[in-house]
Amino acid sequence: HSGERTGHSGARFTDVVSIGIGGSFLGPKLAVEALRPYWQGSINCHFVANIDGTDITETLACLNPDTTLFLVQSKSFRTQETLENSLLARQWFLDNGGNAASVSQHFMAVTANVEEAARFGIEPANTFPMWDWVGGRYSLWSAIGLPIALTLGMAAFRELLTGAHAMDSHFREAPERENLPVIMAMLSVWYNNFWGAESHAVLPYDEYLKYLPEHLQQLDMESNGKRVTQNGISVDYPTGPVLWGGVGANGQHAYHQLIHQGTRLIPADFIIPLRSHNPVASHHAALFANCLSQARAMMAGKTEAEAEQELLAGGLDGDAARQLAPHKAIPGNRPCNILLMERLTPHTLGALIALYEHRTFVQSVIWDIDCFDQWGVELGKQIGNEILPKLLGESEDGSAGDSATDNLIRLFRDRSGT
């Protein structure tokens, strides 16, 4: 921000591209976008995660290599998507005025594998180490949070950590009956295991929190999507539910219908600040009214008799009102939480994310599962590494071991000419 650190041409950096995936992407992106009112202004942050070439191509198209800094975010420095995108970014830099000697001025790494980063061409002095025991989905508080610090400045990043620490202390010290993560975890287990709720909706009524559901999906489902106990015994009860959601009033015109009148029980978390960063006209009052009305509709619903009386009062005749009333009846008694904060700040965001982290952990303790591994994810990576050489024609054995996959490999090779 001060201009002490510049690119190879002497120009100040204006853009940072964070290249990572999973926990090295979702948490930092959530925090950067959620705290946009606190951006310092001189640095714009971009995120690249997808191995789909469109992601990095569209990102690089609007950037100047002389003023762009790349952060390679990978704990192992072996994640395929991150490495492929980093190699492409390096080649783009070399093809657009950079040279091998100046790569070190434009590339930094956050990793537990400093040696592998050095082999890529990133100097140890430009590598921010992280502990190898930090799980990806819990890592935004570590050096993986560097994009947050670069965009917001260190004061705001420390305030994010302070908010998380406040929730850590609350979780550690508060009695169970007053302990927010414990209460939320117990409610989740209650509806998941005793009422058959198979999913849970997260509904932030704040545009800045639009990426919160994506981050919490990984946090919750990658942590608690398990089928054996910590001792390796198959469970005979449901574990992690499907977590999904979206921002604010938009969902009311899409999937809230299923929540209110569908046949599935879907608990929901409504999240809203009391004060907006953008208090235009009466927008925030209308947004708050929408949030409260949706929660009340879930709780109270509308009986068939109430619906019929409403239709009669509106001038419909008796037979028509009786026929339409069942369609307008809403059962209610659908569980939801309303989470309030004074305002979305680095401190309150830190506390909010930590709240869900501890909630996830408490659920795992009750279910006796390990919320810190992800072997299902590892299997997909393993199979992907076996299939890729077959797609590229680099493997003499073209079979993946099943006819469906083999046919798709042949189709891909026929179309791509490999």
Which of 253, 327, 394, 396 does the annotation list as catalytic? 253
> Measured between alpha carbons, how far is 34 from 105 in angstroms, rounded to an integer?
29
Which of 58, 115, 178, 381 does the annotation list as catalytic? 381
Q: Taking the CB of residue 10, how many other CB atoms lie within 10 A of it?
A: 8
Reference 301, options 263, 330, 260, 327; nearest CA is 330
Which of 214, 222, 308, 357 does the annotation list as catalytic? 222
Q: How confident is the model at residue 214 (pLDDT cuts 50, 70, 90)?
A: very high
pLDDT digits (tens, 9 = 90+) for 331-340: 999 999 999 9
3-state secondary structure of 355: helix
Pairing of strands 199-204, 268-273: parallel
The HSE-up count of residue 411 (CA atoms within 13 Å, CB side) is 6
pLDDT at 379: 87
Q: Is 0.85 surpassed by the pTM of this model?
A: yes
- Asked whether 337 and 356 are in contact (CB, 8 A), the reply is no
Whether the per-residue pLDDT at 352 is higher than 80: the answer is yes
pLDDT digits (tens, 9 = 90+) for 23-47: 999 999 999 999 999 999 889 999 9
Degrees to nearest 5, angle at CA 53 with 376 and 407: 60
- Asked whether 269 and 202 are in contact (CB, 8 A), the reply is yes
347 is catalytic: no
Q: How confident is the model at residue 54 (pLDDT cuts 50, 70, 90)?
A: very high
222 is catalytic: yes
> Measured between alpha carbons, how far is 352 from 348 in angstroms, rounded to an integer?
6
Strands of the sheet containing 242-245, edge to edge, are 242-245, 199-204, 268-273, 336-341
Tell me the C-alpha to C-alpha distance, in Å, between residue 14 and each of 67, 275, 352: 5, 31, 30
